[in-house]
Amino acid sequence: MGVISSENYGIGPDYSSEIYTDQRSGKFNFHIQNFGRAKQDTLFCYDYLNNKLTSLLTMFFPIKVGRYHVSYLDLPHHYSIVTENYDEEFEDKKENLILVDKKTRESYRVNLMNDYLGNIKIKPSHLIYNLKDGYYIQRYEPEQLQEIITQALEDTNLSSDSRKYLTALNNSIDTNDNTIILLGRLKQ
């Protein structure tokens, strides 16, 4: 069996960089999240049967070396790229989600929203950490979910059906309940 050298894929032990793996589709995909360095530009797939490493997606976009992370996912019909740009004090960050259509190779910026909770925004980084085995899983403490629902109910553009659903959901939540898990299946 051959060997793939790790020289081009290794990262220094600085407690802020990671190698993330994504085994959502039965493949062993990974990307290097090398904090603040321009190296994080590729989503790789390791074919363990043939001991071969291939790049699924390589992005070339201008990112200043500094305080940022870039993460990749291999979804059924798209590749996702999440960029996280931090301020100087690491107190605030801006997140963006870019989807690349696998067929057309067109890319576009996307805002994620949960339409079951009154179109609340979902942080792009939540996509990376909350997608498991074909499901999107989001956990909320009861008070946290009630706060989100209350905010959604303040939206004057909310449909009457959504308002009715959210009101009933809000009334069914007790602050002494266990953690509430929202589960959504990823379209194949």
Nearest-angstrom CA–CA distance, 42 and 56:
7
The pLDDT of residue 6? 65
pLDDT reported for residue 24:
59
Tokens standing for 151? 């905010």
pTM: 0.74
Each residue's pLDDT, cut to its tens digit, for the chain (188 residues) gives 566 666 666 666 666 666 667 655 566 777 666 665 555 678 888 877 888 888 888 877 665 556 677 888 888 888 888 888 777 666 777 888 999 999 999 999 999 888 888 888 888 888 777 887 778 889 999 999 999 999 999 988 889 999 999 999 999 999 999 999 988 887 76
C-alpha span between 170 and 153 (Å, rounded): 10
> CA angle 88-61-9, nearest 5°?
85
